[in-house]
Structure 1
Amino acid sequence: MRFLVLIKIEENSGNVPDERLLTEMGKLIAEMKKAGVLVETDGLRPTSEGARIRLDKGKTKLMDGPFSESKEVVGGFFMLETASQEEALEWMRRFLVTHGTEWTVECEVRQLGGYS
């Protein structure tokens, strides 16, 4: 089963990954690779460097970032291949624990498929 995990953060919280967090995430990512569950992962650039395009009643509208109405944004992603949703959730629980108590982070875990 494949899962897309959207990592949601408060973009302007002032939190920047420190050496401890980067080391702990690196260890977990290496373990996920070794276990064969990690397909891909990466962080995203700030919303100030992005854009949105929206379709509304047949008309498209382009909006350049930053997106002031968004407090919480997608800051990165994981693509996992696991035997079950429970296994994917356990890996993401461990990912969240690496952040300690300084961060507010949420992972949205969603299974791929159903439309092909």
Structure 2
Amino acid sequence: MRFMILVKATADTEAGAMPEETMVAAMADYHEQLAAAGALLDASGLQPSTTGWRVHYRDGEPLITDGPFAEAKELIAGYTLIQVDSREAALDWVRRFPNPGGPGGEAEIEVRQLFELEDFAPGEAIQRFRRLGTL
């Protein structure tokens, strides 16, 4: 089972503030533990929304809107992608995730399970994804 741990953005992350060395060290420790357990698939921080864009489809046509985006609390500052045997194992890892807000600080993390190819009805389109090795 794959889970994505989403670290929500804050006004500081949207302003481009880099984390303190102690936070980087705590995140490195955590991710090293995930890697040693064979659970880490990927992880990264995201640049502020000023460097991004959104695509809105209107009448079937893409409309590009450059960042920044207004609500920092609705944005993602980073993610960790893990693969574990159960929801309980994912919860155990998430409970150990370093507080992105620092000791005593406020932060929010959202966790979402990813779909697996087996979750979809069999068909040619799913076989195409299976050949790609994605999903």
Which has the higher Rg, Structure 1 or Structure 2? 2
State, as a whole percentage, how many aligned pairs show the same letter.
Answer: 26
Cross-structure match for 1:100:
103
- List aligned pairs for 1:22-61, cutoff 5 A: 22-61=24-63
Larger relative contact order, structure 1 or 2 (CA cutoff 8 Å, min sep 6): 1
Q: 1:74 aligns with which of 73, 76, 81?
A: 76
For 1:105 and 1:17, how far apart are their aligned partners in 2? Answer: 15
Which amino acid in the other structure matches residue 71 of structure 1? A
Cross-structure match for 1:110:
113
Which amino acid in the other structure matches residue 105 of structure 1? E
In the superposition, the TM-score normalised over structure 2's length comes to: 0.73
The answer as to whether partners of 1:55 and 1:61 remain within 8 angstroms in 2 is yes
Residue by residue over 1:68-88, the C-alpha shift from the partner in whole angstroms, topping out at 9 and shown as x without a partner, is: 2x2211111111110111111
For 1:94 and 1:9, how far apart are their aligned partners in 2? Answer: 19
In the superposition, the TM-score normalised over structure 1's length comes to: 0.84
> Would you tell me which structure has more helix in proportion to its own residues?
2
Q: Structure 1 stretches of 5 or more lacking a match? A: none
> Would you tell me which structure has more strand in proportion to its own residues?
1
